[in-house]
Amino acid sequence: MHRSVFSVLVVSVVFGTGVVFSSHHWFTVWVGLELNTLSIVPILCGNFSPRGVESSVKYFLVQSVSAAVILNVVVIQAWLYSSWDIGQPMGVYTSLLMTFAIGLKLGLFPCHYWFPDVIQGVGFLQGLALSTWQKFAPFVVLVNVVDSLNVGLLACLGAFSVLVGGWGGLNQTQVRKVLAFSSIAHMGWICSTVGYSLSGGCVMLFVYVIINSGVFLLAGEYDLKSLSHVGRLSCFSYGGGACLALSVLSLGGLPPLFGFSIKFVSLSCLVGNGSLMLAGVLVLGSLLSLFFYLRVAFNSILVLFPQHSMVVFGWRSLGLVGGGATTVRGLALSLSVGLSLFGLCCLPLLFSFL
C-alpha cells in the first residue's frame, strides 16, 4: 500500500472516531461508525495475504451487522419518540438490541467468537489498532446510552466475557490469540464497571490501552507469533524478554505493576455499590486469565528452555532490533512499557478522576 493512501486511511479512521466522540445526533454517530469501519478494512488487508483478506471480510461483516442493528434501533426511537437525540431514553426491547449491537462491536460474550480469528489473521500493528483504537467509538456510544440500558444485563455479559476470555486463552499457543482472549476479558471488566461508574470505566480503558499497546509493540518488534518464539526470546534479547514478562504480568493485574490499577478501580467501584457477587466472579475469571499470562511470562525470561547452539546463533543473527535510531514506534514502545512497569505511582491521580 502506498504511503499516501495509508495516511489518508489513517486520517479517515481518526476522523470517524472523532465524529462519534463529538456527535449528539444518532445519524452522525452512525456515519462516524461506518466511516471508521470502511477506513480500517483496507488497512487490515494491506498486505493482501489470503488470511488477512479473510480476517478483513469477517471484520467488515461483523461491524456491518452491528451498525445495521444500531441504525434500526435509531429508526425505532425516531418513530416512537420523534427524536434523534442520543440522550433520549430507550424502551426495553430497543435497549436489548443496543446492548447486543455494542457487545458485537466490542467483542463481548456471546458475540466474541469473531474477535480471536480476526486478530490472528492480521499483523501485530493491525491487531493493536483493533484491540485499542477500534474500541473507543463503541465505548463512547455505550457511555452515552448506559443510563437507558439494563445495568444488570450489561454486568452479566461482562462477567461471562471475563470467564470466557480466561477459559478460552488456556489452550492457546499463538500469541495473537492469547492477546485476543485477554482483550475479551479486559473488556468484560470495563463493561461490568461502566454501569456503576462511568469515570471508573474510562480510567480502566485508558490504562488497558497503555498496557496492551506495550505488549503488542513488543511482540511485533520481535515477531513473536507463538509461545515457541517467546521461549527463544531470551536467547537474543534479555532486555526484551524481561520487558515482555513484566508487561504481560502487568496485563494480568499483578501488583505493584500498573495493570493492578484496573482491578483495583473496578473492585472499588463494584464493592462500593454492593455488587459483591459480581466482584467475586470477576476475580475468579481473572485467576483463569492469570494462568496463561504466567505461561507467557515464564516462556519469555523466567524459564530458559534447552536450545541447540545453531538455533541460538540463528536467532541472534536475525538483527530484529534496530541499530539505535529513534522512531515513533520505538518512542511509543518505550512510553507504554515504562508506564506498564512504573505507572502504579499514578494511582492517586487516577482516583482523582473517579
Binned at pLDDT 50, 70 and 90, residue 52 comes out as: confident
- Could you tell me if 170 and 150 are in contact, meaning their C-beta atoms sit under 8 angstroms apart? no
- Could you tell me if 27 and 84 are in contact, meaning their C-beta atoms sit under 8 angstroms apart? yes
Binned at pLDDT 50, 70 and 90, residue 142 comes out as: very high
- Could you tell me if 188 and 162 are in contact, meaning their C-beta atoms sit under 8 angstroms apart? yes
Q: What is the pLDDT of residues 321-348, one digit of tens each?
A: 444 445 666 666 676 666 666 666 666 6
Per-domain residue ranges of the chain: 1-149, 155-354
Q: Cα-flanking dihedrals φ and ψ of residue 85, to 5°?
A: -70, 135
Supply the pLDDT for residue 347.
61
Between CA 125 and CA 215 the distance in angstroms is 11
Q: What is the pLDDT of residues 173-226, one digit of tens each?
A: 888 999 999 999 999 999 999 988 888 888 889 889 988 888 898 888 888 888
Q: Whole-prediction pTM value? A: 0.87
- Could you tell me if 134 and 214 are in contact, meaning their C-beta atoms sit under 8 angstroms apart? no
Binned at pLDDT 50, 70 and 90, residue 119 comes out as: very high
CA–CA–CA angle 61, 152, 80 (5° rounding): 65
> Which of 54-63, 128-137, 294-303 is the least confident region?
294-303
Higher per-residue confidence, 81 vs 306: 81
Supply the pLDDT for residue 46.
75
How far lies 257's CA from each of 83, 139, 162, 217, 238, in Å? 46, 25, 20, 18, 20
Supply the pLDDT for residue 251.
87
Considering only CA atoms, give the Rg of the chain.
20
Q: Is 104 helix (H, G, I), strand (E, B) or coil?
A: helix
Between CA 4 and CA 22 the distance in angstroms is 27
Q: What is the pLDDT of residues 59-105, one digit of tens each?
A: 999 999 999 999 999 898 888 888 788 878 888 888 899 999 999 99
Supply the pLDDT for residue 181.
92
Between CA 218 and CA 337 the distance in angstroms is 9
Residue 144 clears pLDDT 80, i.e. is over it: yes
Per-residue pLDDT, averaged over 309-324, amounts to 44
Supply the pLDDT for residue 79.
87
Which residues lie below 8 Å from residue 114, measured CB to CB, with a gap of 6+?
58, 59, 62, 107
pLDDT over 70 for what percent of the chain? 84
